[in-house]
Amino acid sequence: MTVEAIKDLIEHLPLDDQVLLARWLGDRDRQTWDAEIERDFSAGGAGMALLDEVDALIDLRDPAAASHSQDEIAMVRRATEVLGADHVARWMRSGIPSLDNQTPYALIKTEDGREQIERVLLKIEHGVY
């Protein structure tokens, strides 16, 4: 069966069934994401070095953080509040579809980029993403 055939079938489902399908797909996506995050941020996971880097940015006493503006540090803190310390490092380095597949880490350096990141964080925070 092709994706186009599946789309056609979905369009002919009753609205209640479409809602149930959308919920199921969302739950499945969240479970997949959670499993990936768990792997990446477990001991030896691919994201542990990045998590250490973000922790250093958050620690204002760290001399490396001096090269980052207060606005950048505040945005990392905001992302940590919304996503949790276990998820923020991976998210910061991931291409985010609603950010035109750019990484928050790349966008954080400009005011416009930080505004874009904040809009995405608000959507996540309120369950719209």
> Residue 96: beta bridge partners?
102
Q: Give 47 or 15, the one with higher predicted confidence.
A: 15
Contact yes or no for 90/102 (Cβ under 8 A): no
The pTM (predicted TM-score) of the whole model is: 0.50
Whether the CB-CB separation of 68 and 110 falls below 8 Å is answered with: no
Query: Counting every residue, how long is the chain?
Result: 129
Is the Cβ–Cβ distance between 117 and 99 less than 8 Å?
Answer: yes
Q: Tokens representing 6?
A: 């599946």
- Cα separation, 23 vs 33, whole angstroms: 15
What is residue 102's three-state secondary structure?
A: strand
Q: What pLDDT was estimated at residue 72?
A: 87
Note the pLDDT tens digit of each residue in 81-125: 899 888 888 899 899 999 999 999 899 989 999 999 999 999 998
In the numeric block, which tokens belong to residue 47? 């994201």
Q: How far apart are CA 86 and CA 88, in angstroms?
A: 6
* Range with lowest mean pLDDT among 32-36, 49-53, 119-123: 49-53
